[in-house]
Structure 1
Amino acid sequence: MTIREAKLEDIDTINQLNTYPLNHEYPLEEAKKQLSYLLSSPVNKLFVQELEGRVVGYIQLSEYVCTYGPKLMNVMALVVDENIHGQGIGKSLLNHAEQWAQEEDAKGIRLNSGVERTEAHKFYEHQGYVRVKNQVNFRKLFD
């Protein structure tokens, strides 16, 4: 198994993983534009894991800096092909992200997970993550 930085050519698989199992449907061409931006951004990183030459999961991180705490890295997404859950891929991606975050002088990692994703919560807790709070997520989209 290999972990590497994502490439624009990975967008088809990344978009497929976003759609299922994450349930984030987004037009492929728009996702490609977003990935292109992320790959050029100095404060974002996207790593993919390959198994037998095929991308089977990814983790996306973004710098989280505020005036009330230390610099952290924010996990924006962590997803593994559901057909191969339980093989250590999520753990390996998370460990890789933690190592990269330390190299970037981050003091830790934060993440949000939907309340319905109880299996993911168990996974994060098993990896040493501590539930900090419950919150409500708001959004306002512009035309």
Structure 2
Amino acid sequence: MTIREAKLEDIEAINQLNTYPLNHEYPLEDAKEQLSYLLSSPVNKLFVKEIAGKVVGYIQLSEYVCTYGPRLMNVMALVVGEDMHGKGIGKSLLNHAEQWAKENSAQGIRLNSGVERTKAHKFYEHQGYEKVKKQVNFRKLFQSK
């Protein structure tokens, strides 16, 4: 089992994990463009977990800086293929991300998790994360020209 920084060649596996189990369907070419941007960004990091040359999970971090709290890293996604649940993969990815964040001067990690993801909430609590507040997530997409 290896944890390494993601490469552009990982996009098909990442996109598949996004589609199932996360239910975030997104066109592969658009996802590839997004990954290319993320890999070149100094404030984003994406790590994959590989077993026998196959990507089985990933974690994406983004810098979270505001004027009312410490500099944190924000977990944008943590996903492990459902056939690999219960094998410590999510825990190892989260531990790896935490270590990387410490080494890069972050003062902690934050994350949001959908209210329906109760198993994930138990996992995060078991890893030492505490619920801070409940939120409603809004977004507005702009129409492309």
Provide the secondary structure at the position in 2 that maps to 1:15: helix
Deviation per residue, 1:66-109 (Å, 9 max, x gap): 00001000000000010010000000000000000001100000
Q: Which ranges of structure 2 fall in alignment gaps of 5 or more residues?
A: none
Aligned to 2:60: 60
Number of residue pairs matched by the alignment: 143
Partners of 2:53 and 2:9 in 1: CA distance: 13
Deviation per residue, 1:35-73 (Å, 9 max, x gap): 000000000000000011110000000000000001000
Aligned to 1:116: 116
Partners of 1:71 and 1:26 in 2: CA distance: 30
Aligned to 1:5: 5
The code of the aligned residue for 1:83 comes to: D
Spell out the pairing of 1:1-143 with structure 2 (5 A cutoff).
1-143=1-143
Partners of 1:13 and 1:100 in 2: CA distance: 23
Q: Which ranges of structure 1 fall in alignment gaps of 5 or more residues?
A: none
Please report the TM-score for the alignment, with normalisation by the length of structure 1. Answer: 1.00
Residue identity (%): 85
Partners of 1:141 and 1:17 in 2: CA distance: 23
Please report the TM-score for the alignment, with normalisation by the length of structure 2. Answer: 0.98
Partners of 2:41 and 2:30 in 1: CA distance: 17
RMSD over aligned Cα atoms: 0.3
The code of the aligned residue for 1:64 comes to: Y
Deviation per residue, 1:99-142 (Å, 9 max, x gap): 00001100000000000000000000000000000000000110
The code of the aligned residue for 1:29 comes to: E
Quote the offset at 1:17 in angstroms: 0.1
